[in-house]
Structure 1
Amino acid sequence: MQKRRLGRTDLHVSAICLGTMTWGQQNTEAEAHAQMDLAFEHGVNFLDTAELYSIPPKPETQGSTERIVGGWMKARANRDRVVLATKVVGRTANDWFRGGRPSKLVRADIFDAVDKSLARLQTDYIDLYQIHWPERQIPWGANPTRVGAWPAPRDADETPIAEILAVFNELVKAGKIRHMGLSNESAWGVMRFVFESERGAGPRPISLQNAYNLVNRTFEVNLAEVCDREQVSLLAYSPLAQGYLTGKYDHGARPVGARSTLFNRGQRYETPNAAEALLEYNTLARKFGMEPALFANAFVINRPFVISNIIGATSIPQLHTALASIEVKWTEEMQKSVDAVHQRVGNPCP
């Protein structure tokens, strides 16, 4: 498994990162342990979780995924071999994170979040602590294909980015975290965090975790240049577009036990024209003799700006397919074929 440098740091992470958000609802603790065992046997050294998980968010399951990861690291005594990433929620009205009140990216809430994560993970430090989504009001995912309400709404009590970084600076100095990262962030947001960090407000962001897949290549428009020049590493999530790039939902199918069947949370990938675009990519994969899931993961892993592809699975066979994507020889013909479809369909699922 190839290891790639994370930002400007001395951390080197596997080209595949194991995502964890199904653990605690769709997957049991034993199934999660089996997934981690298999991934690490294949050279993965990178785990990504969040205080929010498992998904869908519920007060009774919040934090369950971190507890599962922490139990596995303790049982395997391998904390020193794991690059561990987790996240603090952005502004949310959900009151179960902070004990009965809404949460913001202010000092008290960030410290509360990190201390609870450390306890659940049974560790003294987090390698990469990420802001799950911005506190300011922006479209989910932060990279829409057109402007919505303008000027963009702003909360009167929005926490300035410099103040957020100052809190992360305290966390680094206290040894609770090693590095900070962003998620679901825009080009302006990344640059503002970099700008404020260079002014001395706090640690420089080393990574950006944004959605990137065949039906959402919005990262390429502005963020690719930002991240390249500022050495902020892309950690691509949702390479399979929540399973829609596996082919299992083609022609309106809803298999028993699939995520969109269970939870009806696939609206991001059910936009106008999305079904047609997804079917075209899934058909293209089969023309190249591959399962759609293998093809979609291989596309992401082989993009030159992707440092690590965050895969997810609810079964061991699915995980085997995702891990096998690192071995796919991505050809110029494949890329040209994908680009030809993208030229016509664009980014239907930002």
Structure 2
Amino acid sequence: MQMNPLGRTGLTVSELCLGTMTFGNQTPEAEGHAQIDRALAAGINFIDTAEMYPVAPIRAETVGLTEQIIGNWNAANAARRGDFILATKHSGEGSLARGGEPITSESIPRTIEGSLKRLQTDYIDLYQFHWPNRGSYMFRKNWGYDPSGQTAADTRAHIEDVLGALQREVERGTIRHFGLSNESAWGTSQFLRVSEDRGWPRVATIQNEYSLLCRLYDTDLAELSVNEDVGLIAFSPLAAGFLTGKYQGDVTPEGSRRERTADMGGRVTPRVFDAVEAYLDIARRHGIDPVHMALAWCRTRPFMTSAIFGATTMPQLEQALGSVEVVLGEEVLKEIAAAHKAHPMPY
């Protein structure tokens, strides 16, 4: 298991991160606890969650349940809390958490206290903003993205407000480090500017969607990551399961995420299945498990800190773990690059 720096924090995290967003919906608590045990035994030291989880679908009555499930594991394994980096996220404006309130200096202490209580821990290693109040081009909003309604001065004032609140939480010992999610290069640069001017928590990571099918990160954000030591924590590196091949033929397997969310968050498009087939063909011809290929490819990216994978079942977890033994050859990488040019951004 390769270990990578977590920004400039001095911490290192495993190349794979255990995602937990299905804990409490598709994945029962006992299965979730078994997954944590197995992931730690395999060398993973990074677990990611969020106050609004579980998803697929998000429901008001289950908000916070994933953190509770992890918290029950923490309570039963208190001596192991220092064995892993625990990350969670503060929902942005419009979520089902906390009535949809935005991220503010007033919401931060209450939200952290709620997460700490559910997680049954005294501290959070990496505290992330799930998406910015001003909006994001993630979640397929890039096709019609229009930032013209933003005001730079308001955004900077907001950043001052929330970073000051985070500094107070660092001083209290409730959080150790800070990250962003579903952010842009400009937004991240503003956080970096304020934090360096004021000596407040510096952005360590950005958690954005990234996979063979979703490569918005490859240009401006890639440059920012490399030059500012703000690495990517990639979510959906298997493209919400598309890259496993299980949805080919436009099918909906029983018990799958698509059974609960038919359009897969806007990922079901006329072009997606041809794009997936191009990558499956590469994997077949080179005798590589497509899950292993997708996750091993993430490791080759110059800005990658960790790839978050979610497993509904233990066999899926075991399959993902096998990717750490796979090294992609130059020919495979060339074919992946050609497939990307032939099938850019299929959703």
TM-score bracket, normalised by the shorter chain, equals over 0.9
Aligned counterpart, 1:31? 31
Aligned counterpart, 2:19? 19
Aligned partners of 1:277, 1:321: CA distance in 2, in Å? 22
Distance 1:267 1:122, change over 3 A: closer
Aligned partners of 1:236, 1:79: CA distance in 2, in Å? 24
Aligned partners of 2:10, 2:223: CA distance in 1, in Å? 22
**SS at 1:242 equivalent:** helix
> Quick one: which amino acid aligns to residue 184 of structure 1?
N
Aligned-residue offset at 1:120 = 0.6
**How many percent of aligned residue pairs carry the same amino acid?**
43
Indicate conservation of the 8 Å contact 2:104/2:158, yes or no: no
Aligned counterpart, 2:69? 68
Aligned-residue offset at 1:340 = 0.5
Aligned partners of 1:217, 1:76: CA distance in 2, in Å? 38
Aligned partners of 1:121, 1:307: CA distance in 2, in Å? 24
Aligned counterpart, 1:123? 121
C-alpha RMSD over aligned residues: 2.0
Please point out which of 203, 209, 212 is paired with 1:211.
209
- Structure 2 residue 37 is the aligned partner of structure 1 residue 3: no
> Quick one: which amino acid aligns to residue 93 of structure 2?
R
Aligned-residue offset at 1:295 = 1.6
> Quick one: which amino acid aligns to residue 22 of structure 1?
T
Indicate conservation of the 8 Å contact 1:165/1:201, yes or no: no
Give 1:1-350 correspondences, 5 Å limit. 1-55=1-55, 56-77=57-78, 78-92=80-94, 94=96, 97-98=97-98, 101-141=99-139, 144=142, 148-149=145-146, 151-152=148-149, 160-200=158-198, 202-349=200-347
**SS at 1:243 equivalent:** helix
Indicate conservation of the 8 Å contact 2:226/2:302, yes or no: no
Indicate conservation of the 8 Å contact 2:140/2:266, yes or no: no
Distance 1:335 1:234, change over 3 A: same
Indicate conservation of the 8 Å contact 1:215/1:241, yes or no: yes
> Quick one: which amino acid aligns to residue 15 of structure 1?
E
Indicate conservation of the 8 Å contact 1:299/1:330, yes or no: yes
The CA deviation string for residues 27-64 of structure 1, in whole angstroms up to 9 with x for no partner, is 11100011111111101111000001011221211111
Indicate conservation of the 8 Å contact 1:143/1:186, yes or no: no
Q: TM-score, normalised by structure 1?
A: 0.93
> Quick one: which amino acid aligns to residue 91 of structure 2?
V
Higher mean displacement: 85-94 or 204-213:
85-94
**SS at 1:206 equivalent:** strand
Q: Relative to total residues, which structure has the larger helix share, 1 or 2?
A: 2
Q: TM-score, normalised by structure 2?
A: 0.94
Indicate conservation of the 8 Å contact 1:23/1:54, yes or no: yes
Indicate conservation of the 8 Å contact 1:282/1:292, yes or no: yes
Aligned-residue offset at 1:234 = 1.0
> Quick one: which amino acid aligns to residue 279 of structure 2?
Y
The CA deviation string for residues 240-289 of structure 1, in whole angstroms up to 9 with x for no partner, is 11101110001111111110112325133223422211221122222221
Distance 1:186 1:150, change over 3 A: closer
**SS at 2:240 equivalent:** coil
Distance 1:143 1:326, change over 3 A: farther
Number of residue pairs aligned between Structure 1 and Structure 2:
344
Aligned-residue offset at 1:153 = 5.4
Aligned partners of 2:100, 2:234: CA distance in 1, in Å? 28
Aligned partners of 1:41, 1:102: CA distance in 2, in Å? 37
Aligned partners of 1:268, 1:201: CA distance in 2, in Å? 40
Distance 1:143 1:253, change over 3 A: closer
Aligned-residue offset at 1:298 = 1.5
* Unmatched tracts of structure 1, length 5 or more: none
Aligned-residue offset at 1:199 = 1.3
> Quick one: which amino acid aligns to residue 90 of structure 1?
G
> Quick one: which amino acid aligns to residue 15 of structure 2?
A
**SS at 1:197 equivalent:** helix
Indicate conservation of the 8 Å contact 2:91/2:129, yes or no: yes
The CA deviation string for residues 155-214 of structure 1, in whole angstroms up to 9 with x for no partner, is 998662121211111111111100000001001011111011111062110011111100
**SS at 1:234 equivalent:** strand
The CA deviation string for residues 63-87 of structure 1, in whole angstroms up to 9 with x for no partner, is 1111111111221221011211000
Aligned-residue offset at 1:297 = 1.4
Aligned partners of 2:122, 2:181: CA distance in 1, in Å? 23
**SS at 2:307 equivalent:** strand
Aligned-residue offset at 1:139 = 2.3
Aligned-residue offset at 1:348 = 2.3
Aligned partners of 1:63, 1:150: CA distance in 2, in Å? 31
**SS at 1:311 equivalent:** strand
Distance 1:66 1:327, change over 3 A: same
Aligned partners of 1:306, 1:46: CA distance in 2, in Å? 14
